[in-house]
Amino acid sequence: MTQRKLGAVGVGALLVSASYGVAFLLGSGEMAVHAGMAGSLYAIVTALGMLALAFAAPALWRTRELIWDAFGERYGPVVRKLVALLSLVWMSGVLAAQIHGGTAVLVAMGLPATHALAIIAAGLLVMSSIELGMAATVFVICLLATNITLAHALISSNGLLVYLHAWPSFASEMRGAPRAETLMTIVAVGFMVITGSDYQQFVIAARRPRDAWLGCVLAGLFLMAAGFLPAATVVAALHAGKLFGLTDAASAIPQIILQTSGQIGPLCLGLILLAALGSGSAIARAMACAMEGLLRGDGHGGYRRHILIIAIGAAIATDGQAIVSTIVSLNVVYVAAVGLLFILHETGQQVTPRCAAMMLLAGAGVSLLVAAIHWTSFADVASWLPLPAGLFASACMLLTRQITLGIKRVRS
C-alpha cells in the first residue's frame, strides 16, 4: 500500500523530477538544433498535461488505483495484465531516453560510451531505492541548480531576449511544423502525462486531495516556465556560434554548459545528471509496480526486477533514435491500444471483458506492425501512421464485437 506522506511541494517536486529529466533537457535541446523554439513542443505539452492531471488528481487520490487496476476492476484480470504489459512498453521507451541522454552527458565529459552507460545504469539502480520524501528534497535542490546553470548559459550567449520572446517564437515556428507529426507528439505525450503511472504514483502518495491537485498545478507552472529554457539556450548558442562543428545534437546542452561554466562545468553537468536521474528512477519504480502486477502473488525479487528493468532500458537506449523520438514511438503503441478503451471507460460506456482484451491486442498489434514497417523501411510509411492505424484497428474490433452481439440478440 502506498504511504501517503507527501505535501503539495513534495508531490510537485517529484512530478517535476519525473518530467524534467534527460528527455526534457537534452531532448528539447536536441530538437532545438533543427527546429528552433519549436523544439520545446515536448516540454510544453508535458506542462499542459500536468495542469490537466490536476483536475483528475482528487479522484485518483481517492481511488488509489493506477490505470491497470482501474481497468482490471471493470474488465477483469486479463485486461489488467494486458494494460500493465503495455505500460511496460511505453515506460521502457521513457527509461531508455533517460539512459541515452545521461550517457550523452558523461560522454561529453570525456568518458567512453560503454563506461558511461554502466554508470548511468548503476545510478538509476541506486536512485530507485531512495525514500520518496528524501528524493523530493534532493531533486528540488538539483533542479534549482540546473535552472540556474541553464540561465547562466543563456545569458552568456546574450539569449535573454530569445527566452522572453519564447511564446511568440514557439507559436510562429509551430505553424510551419509538419501537422501530422506535431499532432501525434501532442497526443502521445499528453495522454501519457494524464494516465501514466509514473506520474500517478506521486499523486496517490499525497497526504490529502488538496496536496495532490496543488502539487500538479505547481509542477505544471514550473514546467511551463522552465520548458522554454533548454531550447532558448540552444538557439542563443547557435546565434553566438558556440555550437560550430556539433556532430551529435543530443550533446548540445552539455557542450554549452562546459563552454560557459568554466572550471565548474563538470560540476554543473553532474547536478543536471542527478536531476535527470530522478526521472529515470521514477520510471523504474513505476515499471517495477507494473511488473509486480503481472506477477501477482510474487512478493520477492524486487531488486532483481529493478536490475532487469534497467537492463531493458539500456538495451533500447542503443537504438540510434533521437531522445524524444524514442519516447514518442513507444508511447504511440500504448495510446493506440488503450486510447479508445480509456475514452469508453471515462464516459461510462460498457464493453465486455473479451471485447476490451481484443481491442487492446488489435490496437497494439497493428500499431507495432506499422511502426516496424516504418523503422525497417520495408515500405514508405509515414512516421505518424502507427497511431491512427492502431486506433482504427481497436475501433474495428469494437464495432465487429457490437455487430456480432446485435446479431445474436436478433436471432434469440
**Which ranges of 131-178 would DSSP assign to H, the alpha helix?**
132-156, 160-164, 166-175
Spatial distance between the Cα atoms of 284 and 84, rounded to a whole number of angstroms: 14
pLDDT, tens digit (0-9, with 9 covering 90-100), for 189-240: 999 898 887 788 889 989 999 999 999 999 999 999 889 999 999 999 999 8
Q: Cell numbers of 253, please?
A: 546542452
State residue 297's pLDDT score: 53
pLDDT, tens digit (0-9, with 9 covering 90-100), for 150-171: 899 999 999 999 999 999 999 9
Residue 1 lies in a domain: no
Residue 399 lies in a domain: no
Q: Of the candidates 19, 9, 4, which has an alpha carbon nearest to the alpha carbon of residue 278? A: 19
Residue 214 lies in a domain: yes
188 lies in which domain range? 8-321
State residue 348's pLDDT score: 83
Residue 162 lies in a domain: yes
State residue 394's pLDDT score: 95
Residue 393 lies in a domain: no
Inter-CA distances, 239 with 9, 31, 242, 256, Å? 37, 16, 8, 12
State residue 218's pLDDT score: 95
Residue 329 lies in a domain: no
State residue 3's pLDDT score: 65
How many structural domains are present in the chain? 1
In the predicted model, residues of the chain with pLDDT beneath 70 are 1-3, 23, 131-137, 139, 276, 293, 296-302, 412
pLDDT, tens digit (0-9, with 9 covering 90-100), for 272-315: 787 767 777 777 877 887 787 677 655 555 678 888 899 999 88
Residue 347 lies in a domain: no
Q: Of the candidates 308, 319, 320, 335, which has an alpha carbon nearest to the alpha carbon of residue 389? A: 335
Residue 143 lies in a domain: yes
CB 276 within 8 A of CB 127: no
CATH at 216: 1.20.1730.10
State residue 67's pLDDT score: 83
